[in-house]
Amino acid sequence: MSRLRPPPLRDDCFALPAGADWTPVNDALDMLRARLRPAVGRDTVPLTNALGRVLAAPVTARRSNPPEANSAVDGYGFAHAFLGSGDQILPLVAGRSAAGVPLGSIVPPGHAVRILTGAAVPEGVDTVILQEDVTLGEDKIAFRAGIKPGANTRRAGEDVEQGQSILQSGRILTPADLALAAAVGVSELPVFDRLRVAVISTGDELVEPGDSAQPGQIYDANRPMLTALSAQFGYDVVDLGRIPDDRDALRHALDQAAEQADIILTSGGVSSGDEDHVSALLNEAGAMAEWRIALKPGRPLALGMWNGTPVFGLPGNPVAALVCTLIFARPAMALLAGSDWCAPQGFMLPAAFAKAKKPGRREYLRARVRDGQAEVFKSEGSGRISGLSWAEGLVELPDGAATITPGTPVRYIPFASIL
Ligand code: AMP
Ligand code: MG
C-alpha cells in the first residue's frame, strides 16, 4: 500500500520575477525558502529507529522528569523545618530509600533516613545532607549547622513537566532527543518518510571510476560526491548513473528519477551550449528557470519540475557542484524533507590570506582553520577537486567589494555545520 503523500509542488514554483538578471544569493535563498514545503509522507517509528529522522509533529511529555522528588546524592534526608540551631544530632529511622526501592513510610519530625542517589524523597523529608558531611554513630547522625532547605534534592518535574512540549516538528532527531523522549515515557515518534534523492551525472566525457578511460574522457567525480552527501544528510539515495549527452536517454532517466525520488539532483549540462540537455529538457517541459545567481563558483543553476518532482540542475564542475549543493540544495532538501530551513552556521575568524574581491557577487573559497585563522586553498581554480578534499569548510566573502589582508575578519562556515 502506498502511503499518502502531499500534493506535488506547482510547475511554476521556481519561476523568477520577470527581468531578473543576476540574483543575489540571499534573494535566491529567500525564494527557495518561500516556495518549498514538505514533499514526503509520514510514519511512526520506535525510538530505536528514529535517529536522524525528521520529526513530523510536536512531542509532549507523558510523564514529568523527574517523576517525583528524589535525592541528588548519597546521604541522609530529614525535614529542614525541625532542625534546631547549631550543630545537629538526629536519630535515624530504620530502613532506607534507594533508587527504585522507596522507604514506604513517613519520616517523623526531628528524624533522619538513609537515602541514596536517585531515590524518592520520602514523606517527611525535604532536605538531604551529603554522607561525607556527616558523622555516623549508632542509629544517629551528627552534622554541622548551615545546610539550606531543599539541599541536594531534585523537585518533581523540575526538568520537564508532564504535558510540556519537548520537541518541535521539523527537528532532526539527535541521540540526546531520544534520551529526552525516553525519559518522559515516549516510545514512538511521528516522523516524515525519508526524502528520496535521485542523482544523475550527465556528459559524454564521463566514465565510471575503475573503467578504462580513453583520451578526452574523465571519471565521474560528481556522482560519488552527491550520493555521499545525500546519504550524509540522512536521505535515501537513488543512483541513476551516468547519462550521455543524449536527449532521449536523459528524458528516460528523468522519468525514472521522478518516479522513484522526491528530488532530482543532476550535474552538468545546465548552461546554454549545444550539449546542455538538462536545461533544454526542463525548458521543453515548460517548468524550468535558469537561476543566474551572483555567486562564484556557481555558473547557472537550472531549477525546474519534471513530472511534479523538483530538479536541481547543478553545474558540472565538481567545485561548483559542491558549493551549489551546500548553499542551495541542502536547505531546499531540508524543507522538502519536512525539516526546518537550515542556514549554515558560520563565524568570524581572522583571515590567514590576502585577496582583493570584486563587487557584484558572493564568493565561496575552499578553506580550513589552523591556529585560529582561516586559510584558503592555494588555487581558486574551479577544476581543483583536490582543494575540495583539502578544505574543511568555506570562507564566505560578501556580495560587495572587499579587501582582505591577513587578520581581516572573514566568515568561516565549517562543512560540519552544513552536513
Ligand atoms: P558542463 O556543465 O556539462 O558543461 O560541465 C562543466 C565541466 O564539469 C566540464 O569540464 C565537465 O567535463 C565537468 N564535469 C561535468 N560533470 C562531471 C562529473 N560528473 N564529474 C567530473 N567532472 C564533471
Ligand atoms: Mg556536460
CB–CB of 345/406 below 8 Å?
no
Residue 152 has pLDDT above 70, yes or no: yes
The CATH classification number of 347-418 equals 2.40.340.10
Percent of the chain predicted with pLDDT > 90:
84
Which pLDDT score, from 0 to 100, does residue 4 have?
79
Residues 339-366 as b/e (b if ≥16 CB within 10 A, e otherwise) read beebebebeebebbbebebeeebbbbbb
Which pLDDT score, from 0 to 100, does residue 172 have?
96
Indicate the pTM of the whole model. Answer: 0.90
CATH assignment of 70-154, among 1.10.3720.10, 3.30.1490.20, 3.30.200.20, 2.170.190.11: 2.170.190.11
Q: What ligand has the least distance to the C-alpha of 217?
A: 1
Q: Distance from the CA of 211 to the center of ligand 2, in angstroms?
A: 19
- Give residue 104's pLDDT band: very low, low, confident or very high (50, 70, 90): very high
Q: What ligand has the least distance to the C-alpha of 268?
A: 1
Ligand 1 atom closest to the CA of 273, numbered from 1: 4
Which pLDDT score, from 0 to 100, does residue 79 have?
98
DSSP 322-336: HHHIIIIIHHHHHHH
CB–CB of 152/131 below 8 Å?
no
Which pLDDT score, from 0 to 100, does residue 212 have?
96
Q: Mean of the pLDDT values across residues 199-221?
A: 97
Look at ligand 1, atom 15, and give the residue with the nearest C-alpha.
Answer: 316
- Pick the closest to residue 272 from 262, 282, 264, 280 (CA basis): 280
Residue 91 has pLDDT above 80, yes or no: yes
- For residue 9, the SS3 value is coil
Regarding beta strands 196-202 and 236-243, do their DSSP bridges make them parallel or antiparallel, or are they unpaired? parallel
Mean pLDDT estimate for the chain: 94
Give me the residue spans of the domains in the chain. 22-41+194-336, 46-51+56-63+163-192, 70-154, 347-418
Distance CA(60)–CA(189), nearest Å, equals 11
Residue 290 has pLDDT above 80, yes or no: no
Ligand 1 atom closest to the CA of 271, numbered from 1: 2
Residue 1 has pLDDT above 60, yes or no: no
Q: Mean of the pLDDT values across residues 313-340?
A: 95
232, containing H or E segment: helix 222-232
Which pLDDT score, from 0 to 100, does residue 2 have?
57
User: Could you read off the pLDDT of 255-289 as tens digits, one per residue?
Assistant: 999 999 999 999 999 887 888 899 899 888 877 77
Q: Which of 211, 243, 267, 301 to mutate to test the pocket of ligand 1 (most atoms within 8 A of CB)?
A: 267
CATH superfamily of 22-41+194-336: MoaB/Mog-like domain (3.40.980.10)
Q: What ligand has the least distance to the C-alpha of 314?
A: 1
Residue 315 is placed in which grid cell?
553545474
User: Could you read off the pLDDT of 348-399 as tens digits, one per residue?
Assistant: 999 999 999 999 999 999 999 999 999 999 999 888 999 999 999 999 999 9
For residue 147, the 8-state DSSP code is: P
Distance CA(396)–CA(379), nearest Å, equals 16
